[in-house]
Amino acid sequence: MQRTPGTPVKLLAIVCLAAPLHAGAQVSNPFEGDARAIRAGERLYANRCAACHGADGKGATGPDVTMLWLEGTNDEHVFQTVREGVDGAVMPPSFAPDEELWAMVAYLRDISTVPPFDPAGGDAGSGREIFAANCAQCHRVNGDGGTLGPDLSNIAAVRSREALIGSIRDPSETVEAGYRTVTLVAADGERIEGVVKGEDAFSIQVVDTDARLQGYLKANLRRFVHEDESLMPRFGRLRLSERELDDLLAFLGTLREDASADR
């Protein structure tokens, strides 16, 4: 194996400053939270993993790797997966030194963790009512609610407070994949609004505003338009005061606790 002379092994140098591994029942990451290791891990990840898992870890040909801790994994398990690869899949084993693997684990954990948000001030009980009145027709939590929008049971664990506020105040700013809006005009002139679940050159699969799953042949439509706007209405201050928003967020935050208690 060739190592270019004059190519210093910077990353290794960084991570080797930290303590060696301890033997123990559950091996913990010697670099957990270590900013330098996380930076090193980021570069290693970009070099060796991003092609399959996406530059942001959100998945490409390989799966999203930013939800692992949320789904109940631990550092050692991720370490072993990266070391051994996934049998029968293209996920390769890694022959890199332990330190590099731990640095990548530290990085993955860093990008996977959304700081818990402070429910200070918000009243979860009132938030539950606001949710039932304004949101449940389109969103499920813990099994109840509508299906036009995404399930929000876990949303506080995977989105920051700022992102949630953005989604509620101005939904069209970022529209979730799998929930893009489409307007169809059928041959008889009927207008159908819905979110796109699938599309190819000849057909489109839609969940309409009545939550009906329906496929359409493009050739049979008078026209179809992909809209930039979200199907979720804007909840501006007139519709949802700052106080009510806090209550709503507090409610969504308690769901997060419930969800993690199940694991």
Q: Which stretch binds other proteins (CB under 8 A): 40-48, 130-138, 232-240, 243-251?
A: 40-48
Q: Which does 138 bind (CB under 5 to 8 A by kind): other proteins, ligand HEC, none?
A: ligand HEC
**Token pair listed for 195:** 């979110």
**7 binding other proteins? (CB under 8 A):** yes
**35 binding other proteins? (CB under 8 A):** no
Tell me, residue by residue from 63 to 92, as one string, x for binding to other proteins by CB under 8 A and - for no binding. ----------------------x--xxx-x
Q: Which of 23, 71, 202, 238 binds other proteins (CB under 8 A)?
A: 202
**4 binding other proteins? (CB under 8 A):** yes
Nearest to 182 by CA among 210, 206, 217: 206
Nearer CB in complex with ligand HEC: 18/231: 231
Distances (CA, A) of 119 to 96, 102, 161, 255: 42, 33, 10, 12
Cβ 209 to ligand HEC, closest distance in Å? 7
Q: Are 51 and 63 in contact (CB under 8 A)?
A: no
Helices (H) and strands (E) counted in the chain, each on its own, are 9, 7
- What is the enclosing helix (H) or strand (E) of 145? strand 144-145
- DSSP letter, residue 8: -
d(CA 204, CA 139): 23
**44 binding other proteins? (CB under 8 A):** yes
Binding residues (CB under 6 A) for ligand HEC: these are 48-49, 51-53, 62-63, 65, 68, 78, 81-82, 86, 89-92, 94, 104, 134-135, 137-139, 148-150, 152, 155, 159, 164, 167-168, 171, 175-176, 179, 195, 230-233, 235, 248
Nearer CB in complex with ligand HEC: 86/222: 86
Q: Which of 201, 217, 238, 261 binds other proteins (CB under 8 A)?
A: 201
How are beta strands 191-199 and 221-226 bridged, if at all?
A: unpaired
Cβ 10 to other proteins, closest distance in Å? 8
The count of C-alpha atoms lying within 13 angstroms of the C-alpha of 117, restricted to the half-sphere facing its C-beta, is 26
**217 binding other proteins? (CB under 8 A):** no
Distances (CA, A) of 151 to 8, 57, 227: 48, 22, 22
Nearer CB in complex with other proteins: 24/202: 202
Alpha helix segments (H runs only) across 85-214: 98-112, 124-134, 155-158, 161-169
d(CA 107, CA 36): 10
**62 binding other proteins? (CB under 8 A):** yes
Q: Which residues here bind other proteins, judged by CB under 8 A?
A: 1-5, 7, 9-12, 43-44, 46-48, 50-52, 55, 61-62, 85, 88-90, 92-96, 100, 199-202
